[in-house]
Each structure stands twice: as C-alpha cells, then as structure tokens.
Amino acid sequence: MTDSAGITNDSARSVKSNALTTAALAVIQTLTISILAILLDPNDFGLFAIVLVFVNFGRFLTDFGINNAIIHFQDMDDNSRSSLYWITVVFGLVLFVCFSLLAPVVALIFGIPDLFTLLLISNIVFLLLPFGDQFAMLLQKGFMFPQLNRIKLLSSIGGSAITIYLAAVGAGAFALVIGNLFNVLIWTALLLFVGLRRWGVHFRCQLADIRRYLRFIAFQFADKSMSFIFKNIDKPLIGFFFGTHLLGLYSFAWNLAHIPLGKLAPVITQVGFPALARVQKSIDKVRRGYEIILDLLSFILIPVYFGLFITTPLIFELLFGHRWDGAIFFMQVFCIMGAMRAVIYPSNSLSLALGRPDLNFSWSFFYLALFLCALTIAIGTHDIYLFTLGMLSIDVILLLRLHHHFHAPLLRQHSKGLYSPIYTNALFSAVMLATVHCVNILGFFSGFTKIGIMVFLGMALYAGLHLLFNLKKVLFLCKHAFGRVNADNVN
C-alpha cells in the first residue's frame, strides 16, 4: 500500500471515530445547555462568560503555539518534546499565580464580589492542562482518534453531570465553573494515564532542544494572541457596558450557535491538519486533500446553519421560554456567520500544514483591526445589536479575502476550482431555506410537530437536490469520509 493510501485510510478511520464522538458530544452539550437554561438565569450565564474569557486566555497562554508545532514538525525527537512539555508545565504554574493575583482586581472592576471566588476556582485549570495537552496532540498526530475521542466523551459526561447536579441544588454560576473544572480534571487525568504509558516524558528542559521551532512558535503565539482578543474581548466589555443580563443572552446564543461549527468542523480539520502536514511536500496532494475538507465542511455545515436560522424562533419558544426571547436576534446572526465560517475555518489548517503561520498572523491582525473598529462603534453608540451586525460584516469581508490571502499564495495554480462545490452547497441550502420558510409561514402545524416537519422536509430536499444533480460528488465525499481506500484508487 502506498503512503498516500495509508494516510487516506488513517484519515477515513479517524473521521468515522470523530463523527460518532462529535454526534454524542453535540447531544450532550445541547441537552446540558437546555437543562441549564431552565435551572439557571441569564445572569449566571453572564458571570460564567466573564470567567470563561480568563480561562480561555490562560488555556491559550499555556500552549502559545507549541502544540501545533508538534504536529507540523514530523521529526521532533524525545528531548525536544520533553523540553516543550516542562516549559508548558512551568508556565502553567506562573499563570495560576498571576491570574489568582488578578482575580480581586477583576471582581472590583465589575463590582461583582462573587467573581473573585469564581475566578480563583477556575484558575486551577492552568495547573492541570499542561500535563495532558501534549499527549492529546501526539494522539492526534498519530491518528489515534478513537482513544482521544473516548477521553473527550468521558470528560464531557463527567463535567456535564457535575454541572447539572450543582445547578439543581442552587449553586448558580458556581455550577458552571466547577463543572468546567471537573471536565478539565478528567481530561487531564485520562491523557496522563495514556500518554505516560505510550510516550513517557524526560525530566529535561533546555532551550537548545527547541531552537529550531522558535520561529513557528513565535508566529503561532502572535496569531493566537490576536485571535484570542477578537474571539473573547467582546464578552467582558459587553458585561461591563451592557450588564450581565444582556451578556447572558448574547453568550447563550453564541454557545448554542457555535455547537455545529465547534463540534462538526473538528471532525474534519483535526484529521485534515496532520494529514495535510504529512504530504506537505506535494502541493498537488495538499490541494486535493484541502478541497475535500472544504467540500465536506460546506456540504454539512451550510445547510445546518440555514436550517437553524429559520427554526430558531420556534426552538426558543418551545425549549427555553420567553425569558430567552432576547437571544433570538443574536442566534440568527450567529447562524449566518457560522455558515460563512464553515468555509473560512479550514484555511488555518492549510497554512499550518505548509509551515506558513505568518499568514495566520497577518490574517488575525486584519481581523482584529476590523473587530476593534466595530467594538468601538458599538460602545460609542451603546448598541450591542449594531456590534453584532458589525461582526457579521467582518465575516463577509474575510470570506471575500480568503482566496487572495490563503489560497492563491499557498496553492498557486492549484487553487482553481476550489469554490464551485461551495457554491453548489450554498445554492441547494438556499432552496431548502426558502421551501422550509414557506412551510413555516403557512401555519398548518404547531409546536414540535412543526419543527419536526420543517427539519425532515429540509433534510429530504437538500439530500434530494444533491442526489439528483450532484450524485457523483456525494459518492466521492462518502468514499473519502467513510470508506476504506485501496492503493489503486489513490491518484
């Protein structure tokens, strides 16, 4: 069997494992959020959104580009890996101390005493994560996704169970923070158990071991710094200027809307990144693999987000009640953004696989500049809805620049023809949306029956259009995503 066939078969097995796990995780997360929407109020979600900004910032800093370097550099030795491991552990301890000292200042700025305790509890994750994260990347690099996915599933179930229990006994925002901590604790403990047995780690920490990786890590750190800012800075600023109630509505909608992209996209990209990195010396193979990634993501996510957009008012009315009506506008805007990000999202994996983190850096810098302009206008006008529409406009601009910034310089002449499958997926999704909308406004049904009919009709129509006009593409995607590929079939 050729190397290409081996990689393709590894990818196919990994995608299957990721797909099953992601489906389970999406169900768990959706049920958890639905239950918590009943047990907690928007203020609790608002407080947790503020805490989560600091947790995510610390998680980003404990990595600072090292984990992606492990995947990109195929020849990293044990000494280098051990040095990187202990650097992140030491840095995690430093972050724990710094963020703990910062906690009372944050609580004072927001005028919320409970924030102090919530932040202190959440800071414990900085001590835990560095011990397991490298092993997670090694499992990903080696296409050992079944093991990695079992760990994800167990940690998610454990964290969700703790969160729901504490919310039921009246813990409020503390339920969300402690549940998240238990999720990380289970994740780290299981990764340590698997990683130490398989790879181990030496007590070694020398700069000479990691010198050749510093350029890659530096660009990744700069890129992730700016990426973190525009992904998270909106939450504390909305909480500060507009209050925790409105922040709760905003973050609740964001968490729900992010489930398809956050759960389904990694099914493809977590496999695609190491697969593209393995064939990085052949642009033609990279192009073919990247086209499959783009096609799969747009094939799945664009219709999902179009469907969510049209069914959001009904879902909120039936599942969450009228106290969450204020989140419907945010949810629908985020659905439009999610459909566009399904196309934008995999460009990060492409550039990293080809060793060009500088492109991600300049991309994030451009995004951050636009984001800060939108945020300044929103604060000046005191209009969070205008800010949300501004974020949507930014995604439109980024989508239009995608070819010029990533595809043309990385794939060169091989970038031709990448977009026609995306146009087809978007067109069929638009037809589906229009048809389902007609069913919605006719009003023949109501309640869950109406949602069920709309979902079934949308899925049947979208699948029917592809089977009628695009059967060859559907079979091609199914073969690469779920089938075993023989060496003779790999071109």
Is 103 inside a domain boundary?
no
pLDDT above 70 for 372: yes
Which comes out higher in pLDDT, residue 432 or 62? Answer: 432
- The answer as to whether 341 is a domain residue is yes
**pLDDT at residue number 8:** 53
Rounded Cα distance between 264 and 275, Å, is 18
pLDDT digits 0-9 by tens, 148-192: 888 989 999 999 999 999 999 988 889 999 999 999 999 999 999
Residue 475 belongs to a domain: yes
Does a structural domain hold residue 9?
A: no
Query: 331 falls in which pLDDT band (50, 70, 90)?
Result: very high
Domain membership of residue 83 (yes or no) is: no
pLDDT tens per residue, range 190-236: 999 998 888 888 787 777 767 777 777 777 677 667 677 767 777 78
Digit-coded pLDDT (tens) for 234-256: 778 788 788 888 888 888 898 88
Band of residue 416 on the pLDDT scale cut at 50, 70, 90? low
Number of structural domains, the chain? 1
Residue 264 maps to a domain: yes
Report residue 9's pLDDT band, with 50, 70 and 90 as the boundaries: low
CA 334, CA 336: separation in Å to the nearest integer?
Answer: 5
Q: How far apart are CA 105 and CA 116, in angstroms?
A: 8
Identify whether 323 is part of a domain.
yes
Where b means 16+ CB within 10 Å and e means fewer, 234-250 reads bbbbbbeebebebbbbb
pLDDT over 80 (residue 76):
no
Predicted confidence at residue 278, as pLDDT, reads 78
pLDDT: which is higher, 23 or 131? 131
Whether 261 contacts 298, CB under 8 Å: no
Amino acid at 404: H
Q: What is the pLDDT of residue 10?
A: 57
Share of the chain above pLDDT 70, in %: 86
Residue 415 pLDDT: 61
Q: Is the pLDDT of residue 483 over 60?
A: no
Lowest-confidence region among 271-280, 317-326, 387-396 = 271-280
Average pLDDT for residues 345-372, to the nearest whole number? 82
**Of the given ranges (259-263, 296-300, 428-432), which has the lowest mean pLDDT?**
259-263
Q: How confident is the model at residue 63 (pLDDT cuts 50, 70, 90)?
A: low
Owning domain of residue 320: 257-484
pLDDT at 2: 47
Average per-residue pLDDT for the chain:
81
Q: Which residue has the higher pLDDT, 247 or 60?
A: 247
Calculate mean pLDDT across residues 326-355: 88
**Could you tell me the two tokens for 173?**
């925002």
Identify whether 105 is part of a domain.
Answer: no
Mean pLDDT for 463-482 is 74
* Arithmetic mean of pLDDT, 458-470: 89
pLDDT, position 491: 35
- Predicted TM-score of the model (pTM): 0.69
Residue 248 near residue 325 (C-beta atoms within 8 A): no
What percent of the chain clears pLDDT 90, i.e. is strictly above it?
A: 18
Quote the CA–CA distance of 194 and 147 in Å, as a whole number: 9
Q: Please give the Cα distance from 370 to 158 (Å, whole number).
A: 39
